[in-house]
Amino acid sequence: MGKVLVDSSAMEMWRTKMQSVNSNCVDDIEKIENVIRSLNDSFQGDYESAFAESFTNYCNIIKESHNNMKDFSGFLDKIYEIMNNQ
């Protein structure tokens, strides 16, 4: 799959939703997955699937290795990196 071009308004909405889950840490994978599902209308086709798969995989890595991500902005930056390198 080629590089994903991210729509800036969709990304801003995603960032806002992510921050509403928890501004300090990410330790509830179910909440995160619910956010992913809530974004379905904002993304189309392969991009949506690739985003959800990458994000879920990364959440699992966090769950296994940290259980608590205090640097939330760093977390977002990592997700952006994953999304843009599909």
Is 54:6 a contact under the CB 8 Å cutoff? no
pTM for this entry: 0.29
**Are the C-beta atoms of residues 68 and 27 closer than 8 Å to each other?**
yes
Q: Residue 2: its pLDDT value, please?
A: 44
pLDDT digits (tens, 9 = 90+) for 20-65: 655 544 555 556 656 666 655 555 555 556 666 666 676 666 666 5
pLDDT at 72 over 60: no
Q: Determine the Cα–Cα distance for residues 9 and 13; give it in Å rounded to an integer.
A: 6
Of 51, 50, 39, the closest CA to residue 13 belongs to 39
Spans of all domains in the chain:
26-84
Task: Report which of residues 5 and 12 the model is more confident about.
Answer: 12
